[in-house]
């Protein structure tokens, strides 16, 4: 299943990249599941303490759909502040 971005039109008008918004959505869902993603030495790393494994399936679906390389690139091209703005939009 491919994501459609028509529901994100207002964010796109604000100059937001639809892939970045999708990644921000995935990171917010992961946060709800008590899963944190970071990039270390060019690799995507997942941290979790007491994860909500019921939410792992949709987080994993996002990972499969978006791709690890795109998420690593997202961390490389955005600042922490930009990621917070995108998370709020998500």
pLDDT at 87 over 70: yes
4-37: pLDDT as tens digits: 444 545 545 466 788 898 999 999 999 999 999 9
Residue 73 to residues 9, 34, 76, Cα–Cα distance (Å): 23, 22, 5
* Token duo for residue 39: 């990039």
Which of 83, 76, 26, 75 minimizes the C-alpha distance to 55? 26
Which is more confidently placed, 85 or 30? 30
Averaging pLDDT over each range in 14-18, 37-41, 78-82, which range is the top one? 37-41
């Amino acid at each position: 299943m491919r994501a459609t971005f028509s529901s994100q039109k207002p964010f796109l008008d604000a100059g937001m990249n639809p892939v970045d918004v999708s990644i921000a959505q995935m990171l917010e869902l992961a946060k709800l599941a008590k899963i944190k993603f970071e990039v270390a030495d060019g690799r995507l790393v997942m941290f979790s303490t007491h994860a909500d494994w019921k939410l792992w399936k949709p987080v994993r679906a996002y990972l499969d759909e978006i791709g690890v390389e795109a998420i690593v690139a997202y961390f490389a091209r955005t600042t922490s502040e930009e990621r917070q703005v995108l998370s709020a939009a998500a």
